[in-house]
């Protein structure tokens, strides 16, 4: 944790920041301090322009011909490969399409089928809920009497045994932001003969990920958070090339077929990662995602993850100095290197605190029962606005009137 800096010091950091030029590429309303890129990334100018073209020139003028002339058909692997370069995948190991939940279903089902003699899935208690819910769906409908062993983080490693088919973990925890050591845990799963599925929803575009260096088997992740792909953007799915030939997944739709436009009755899986596709890609959502990914790629190599850590470290230091005496308790790792791109704090009146922040133009979010979260997005956030956000937080906490009982009721959304 850094020493708490002054605003002037932070302005100097902004002047020297090689990523500062990206701020103007985003259309963030004037005066807003947007600390929720971990939940929904903001609109970029590029995404706005691309959507205008996709709607009017491609759909409007090209109509059905857009599948060829506008390159719609190639979107899943074209955008997949771009994301792949951000997460340490080789070419041909990543595609986009469907939601993160659906892709997790595919990845875990495929991994289970690769370990037919085993029937246990290990995952973390308190993992992002949809991950647990999807595993429950697999358990209920699986052919193999699959069981789910859901453990607290500290007991996870002990649960991985010779009956474990798959370990399913989220790289950056949605609440605490804590990072799992990817290489170490993947190796542990492999030692036991199990496969490893990583959920990168809070990682891609914000923290360092190198799937192939970690020898990961499968991964999925979210397009609408740090990839700035727009509300409900398509998700991505990765499978290591070594599994491609053997892997099968149950959502075998026509876009996962070897020759989808021959319209034959029998399913023949496409070569490689494309067999992880299912139905027709949602072109409009995928177009916005591609714009977001392209913007991140422009900035790649400029230490995105390092700026993320610096932003969150400064916020942490300022809050520690100015706000912790008001009942705010850090719920994330103290070491910036041990966490992803957001910080969570607990506060007895967390919902009211966050509503007051939002009313004052500082957008973070609330997670039941009493967590408030702040995201740190290296592409569009400045160091100085971190300072301003903490000042506003301090003003709210130190005001006698901030507690508004009607806010105590949970009305949160994503």
Please list every residue from 61 through 80 that binds a second copy, using CB under 8 A.
61, 63-68, 72-73
Reduce the DSSP state of residue 14 to 3 states and report it. helix
Residues of span 317-376 touching a second copy by CB under 8 A: 358, 363, 365, 367-368
The residue range among 16-24, 188-196, 253-261, 340-348 that interacts with a second copy, by the rule CB under 8 A, is 253-261
Peptide bond into 97 cis (omega under 30): no
Rule CB under 8 A: choose which of 281, 295, 323, 393 binds a second copy: 281
Is residue 279 a contact residue for a second copy (CB under 8 A)? yes
| Tokens 């260096």 sit on residue | 213
| Residue 387 is a catalytic residue | no
Rule CB under 8 A: choose which of 55, 152, 213, 306 binds a second copy: 55
| Residue 224 is a catalytic residue | yes
Binding residues for a second copy, total number by CB under 8 A: 97
The residues that bridge with 221 in the sheet, in sequence order, are 236
Is residue 284 a contact residue for a second copy (CB under 8 A)? yes
| Residue 161 is a catalytic residue | no
Residues 6+ apart with CB under 8 A from 164: 118, 120, 121, 122, 149, 189, 192, 193, 194
| Residue 351 is a catalytic residue | no
Residues of span 115-154 touching a second copy by CB under 8 A: 125-127, 129-130, 132-134, 136-138, 140-143, 150
Residues of span 288-317 touching a second copy by CB under 8 A: 288
Binding mask 178-217 for a second copy (x = CB under 8 A): ----------------------------------------
Reduce the DSSP state of residue 93 to 3 states and report it. coil
Binding mask 218-237 for a second copy (x = CB under 8 A): ------x-----xxxxxx--
Beta pairing, strands 236-239 & 94-96? antiparallel
Q: How far apart are CA 135 and CA 147, in angstroms?
A: 9
Rule CB under 8 A: choose which of 6, 16, 154, 265 binds a second copy: 265
When the beta carbons of 151 and 403 are compared against a second copy, the nearer one is 151
Out of 225, 307, 309, 310, pick the active-site residue.
225
When the beta carbons of 82 and 275 are compared against a second copy, the nearer one is 275
| Residue 225 is a catalytic residue | yes
| Nearest by Cα to 304 from 209, 394, 215, 386 | 209
Out of 224, 236, 380, 407, pick the active-site residue.
224
CB atoms within 10 A of CB 232: 15
- Walk across the sheet containing 365-367 and list its strands: 329-330, 342-346, 371-375, 365-367
The residue range among 243-251, 295-303, 321-329, 344-352 that interacts with a second copy, by the rule CB under 8 A, is 243-251
| Nearest by Cα to 215 from 192, 194, 240, 179 | 240
When the beta carbons of 254 and 326 are compared against a second copy, the nearer one is 254
Is residue 39 a contact residue for a second copy (CB under 8 A)? yes
Q: How far apart are CA 35 and CA 365, in angstroms?
A: 8
When the beta carbons of 1 and 125 are compared against a second copy, the nearer one is 125
When the beta carbons of 155 and 213 are compared against a second copy, the nearer one is 155
Is residue 43 a contact residue for a second copy (CB under 8 A)? yes
DSSP 159-196: H--TTEEEEEEESB-TTT-BBP-HHHHHHHHHHTT-EE
Residue 71 C-beta: closest distance to a second copy, Å: 11
Beta pairing, strands 218-221 & 147-151? unpaired
Quote the tokens at residue 15: 């002047």
Contact 218, 239 (CB under 8 A): yes
Is residue 252 a contact residue for a second copy (CB under 8 A)? yes
Residues 6+ apart with CB under 8 A from 328: 319, 345, 346, 347, 397
Residues of span 82-111 touching a second copy by CB under 8 A: 98-102, 105, 109
Which active-site residues does the annotation give? Answer: 128, 199, 224-225, 373
């Amino acid at each position: 944790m850094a020493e708490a800096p002054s605003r002037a010091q932070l302005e100097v950091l902004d002047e020297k920041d090689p990523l500062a030029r990206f701020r103007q590429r985003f259309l963030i309303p004037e005066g807003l301090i947007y600390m929720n890129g971990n939940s929904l990334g903001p609109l970029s100018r590029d995404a706005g322009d691309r959507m205008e073209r996709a709607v009017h020139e491609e759909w409007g003028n090209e109509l059905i011909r857009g599948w060829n002339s506008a390159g719609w058909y190639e979107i899943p692997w074209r955008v997949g490969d771009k994301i792949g370069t951000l997460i340490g995948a080789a070419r041909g190991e990543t595609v986009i399409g469907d939601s993160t939940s659906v892709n997790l279903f595919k990845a875990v089902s495929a991994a289970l089928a690769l370990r037919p003699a085993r029937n246990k899935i290990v995952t973390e208690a308190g993992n992002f809920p949809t991950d647990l819910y999807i595993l429950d769906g697999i358990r209920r409908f699986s052919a193999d009497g699959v069981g789910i062993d859901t453990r607290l983080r500290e007991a996870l490693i002990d649960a991985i045994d010779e009956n474990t088919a798959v370990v399913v973990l989220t790289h950056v925890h949605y609440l605490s932001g804590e990072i799992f050591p990817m290489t170490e845990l993947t190796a542990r799963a492999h030692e036991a003969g199990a496969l490893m599925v990583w959920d990168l929803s809070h990682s891609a575009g914000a923290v360092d990920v190198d799937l192939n260096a970690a020898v990961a088997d499968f991964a999925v992740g979210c397009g609408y958070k740090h990839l700035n792909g727009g509300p409900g953007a398509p998700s991505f799915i990765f499978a290591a090339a070594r599994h491609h030939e053997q892997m099968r997944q149950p959502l075998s739709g026509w876009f996962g077929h070897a020759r989808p436009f021959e319209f034959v009755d029998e399913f023949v899986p496409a070569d490689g990662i494309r067999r992880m596709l299912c139905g027709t890609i949602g072109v409009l959502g995928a177009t916005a995602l591609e714009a977001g990914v392209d913007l991140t790629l422009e900035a790649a190599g400029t230490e995105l993850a390092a700026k993320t850590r610096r932003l969150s470290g400064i916020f942490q230091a300022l809050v520690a100095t100015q706000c912790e005496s008001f009942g705010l308790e850090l719920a994330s790792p103290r070491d910036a290197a041990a966490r992803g791109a957001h910080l969570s704090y607990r506060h007895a009146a967390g919902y009211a605190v966050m509503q007051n922040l939002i009313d004052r133009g500082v957008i973070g979010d609330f997670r039941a029962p009493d967590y408030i979260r702040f995201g740190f997005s290296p592409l569009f956030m400045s160091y100085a606005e971190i300072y301003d956000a903490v000042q506003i937080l301090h003003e709210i906490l130190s005001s006698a009137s901030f507690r508004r009982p009607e806010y105590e009721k949970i009305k949160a959304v994503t």
